[in-house]
Structure 1
Amino acid sequence: MTTAPERTADLYPTRGTTEVITPRKDPVVWSQPGAEGPFSASDLGDFERDGFFAIPELLTAEEVAVYRAELDRLVHDPDTRADPRSIIEPRSRSVRSVFEIHRISELFAQLVADPRVVGRARQILGSDVYVHQSRINVKPGFGASGFYWHSDFETWHAEDGLPAMRTVSVSIALTENHDTNGGLMIMPGSHRHFVGCAGATPKDNYKKSLQMQDAGTPSDQALTTMADRHGIRLFTGRAGSATWFDCNAMHGSGDNITPYPRSNVFIVFNSMENTAVEPFAAPVRRPEYIGARAPFVPVR
């Protein structure tokens, strides 16, 4: 007699009839004190407290020039534009994002495996890691749209099936981040509570959400309470700077109506001990280029 496989416990319910706020049940920093890596113990303490850590210069100016040229090459390549991994800006019809960039570009694959990058992911997550998602983001001037407030983990849990908060992202700037060109905003400390959002997940929700976030966004009341409690931090910095942030940090960005573009590389590392199962609150899985599936290959 065979039995159905055991369902992974859902520690963070979301996409139900009402909004539910759940205290975080997982560590923020998973490694043991004194774990070797690019972060100092003080850096990790700041990350654990705030849910993010900014590095003024992760890449040199020479490295930025190389990666920026590769980004420009890809977004102007007709084959890339026609690839389903490319997301098109609704208004300008220009390329907004290109997913699975570590598989499309050898240069970006090298960046993912750079010890300055993957070493920090291993330190935070306390294990070997794989790439759950990677992409380049292009936010051109004069009207590129932003993303509404959200927790990435809410989406990755609901639609990709990541069981626990053992995932970390890094955004590496390839252009200067001004305080006016639609930069990243995070609520410090917001990673300590999970906002389970109200409303069911539409089928193929990713086709809309990658252009404009809708399902999986908190209520105005919840956002106001969190902003009053935690405040909002806007990230600026030169090209080559990087921001590491916890998967459950509440964040968003505004439209870019300035002449100055904002482009970055975005890499999501997940623990090899937290691999994706079936979605917790969606009818179907998202495509593998958005949320990686087996075989899960650790970054070496």
Structure 2
Amino acid sequence: MASAPTRPIDLYPTRGAEEVLIGRKDPVVWSAPGTPGPFWARELEDYERDGFVTVEELVTPDEVAGLRAELDRLVADPAVREDERAIVEPHSREIRSVFEVHRMSEVFARLAADPRVAGRARQILGSEVYVHQSRVNVKPGFGASGFYWHSDFETWHAEDGLPQMRTVSVSIALTANHTTNGSLMIMPGSHRTFLSCAGETPKDNYKRSLRMQDAGTPSNEALTTFADACGIRQCTGAPGSATWFDCNALHGSGDNITPYPRSNVFFVFNSVENRPEAPFAAPVRRPSFIASRDFAPVVSPAG
């Protein structure tokens, strides 16, 4: 009689009775020093130290114009608004996020596979990669709500079953990201310590957390400790700039009460060697449009 597969050791237990600090057990940059790729060695050193790095012009202004047009098309499409992959603002009912955009749009699919994008993910993760999650975040002016402080890995580990910190996100600006219109904030160096959050995961937690996160959020005391130790950096940039950040970096963004919208496209790349298991701290997996079940490596065009 065949034995049941062995469940991997939980390196980062979370959602227990109390918050716990756990030292990171995984590399930050998984590739060997000198591995060729789009990143300069200095950029990878910054990423390893801080948990994030910004590339000033990842895509050109002409390319941004095409991406903006595609974003506008998606947001204006009534069928997209009715799709479960579209998340709307609790009060204004405007679209906040659209998930799985690399499957909904050929334009965003090509961007995800572009060597400037996927090549950097491979360089950080030291392997072939697949898209664990993709989305566009739309922060229109005059009241779009922010995203509270959190570690993505805490959620992906607890609710999606990712066993190791071998995942990286990139946020590509489609509009100018100012200090005033709800741009990304990161605590540099926070990626080196895992904050195990307190509290159980409610059933179908994703339906609430995509609008307003609750489970898996740090306490005010823990956030103060991290902020005092690490500081807070705000990631701003022109359209076409991009910020790469580690899956365990504590980050968030404020509301946008300015007249100026902030829209970004996000791709989350996971190593093909870090496939999800059963959730470590949730009753069921989240839907595949949030946590992909397709582990086929991203194939970048030749040339």
Q: TM-score, length-normalised on structure 2? A: 0.98
Q: Which runs of 4+ in 1 moved over 6 A?
A: none
Partners of 1:141 and 1:193 lie apart in 2 by 34
Partners of 2:4 and 2:108 lie apart in 1 by 41
Determine if the alignment matches structure 1 residue 90 to structure 2 residue 90: yes
1:7 maps to: 7
1:203 maps to: 203
2:146 maps to: 146
1:194 maps to: 194
2:70 maps to: 70
Partners of 2:76 and 2:91 lie apart in 1 by 17
Q: Matches of residues 82-121 of structure 1 in structure 2 within 5 Å?
A: 82-121=82-121
2:296 maps to: 297
Partners of 2:107 and 2:123 lie apart in 1 by 23
- Identity across matched positions, percent: 74
Partners of 2:245 and 2:70 lie apart in 1 by 25
2:33 maps to: 33
SS in 1 for 2:257: coil
Task: State the shift of 1:220 in Å.
Answer: 0.9
Task: State the shift of 1:5 in Å.
Answer: 2.1
SS in 2 for 1:32: coil
Partners of 1:228 and 1:82 lie apart in 2 by 43
Partners of 1:48 and 1:226 lie apart in 2 by 18
Partners of 2:214 and 2:185 lie apart in 1 by 18
Q: Matches of residues 160-239 of structure 1 in structure 2 within 5 Å?
A: 160-239=160-239
Task: State the shift of 1:2 in Å.
Answer: 3.7
Partners of 2:38 and 2:6 lie apart in 1 by 39
Structure 1: which 5+ runs fail to align? none
Partners of 1:40 and 1:255 lie apart in 2 by 34
Write the deviation string for residues 243-276 of structure 1: whole angstroms up to 9, x where unpaired.
0000000000001111110000000000000011
SS in 2 for 1:75: helix
Q: TM-score, length-normalised on structure 1? A: 0.99
Task: Give RMSD over aligned pairs.
Answer: 0.7
SS in 2 for 1:21: strand
Task: State the shift of 1:40 in Å.
Answer: 1.1
Structure 2: which 5+ runs fail to align? none
Write the deviation string for residues 63-83 of structure 1: whole angstroms up to 9, x where unpaired.
000000000000010000011
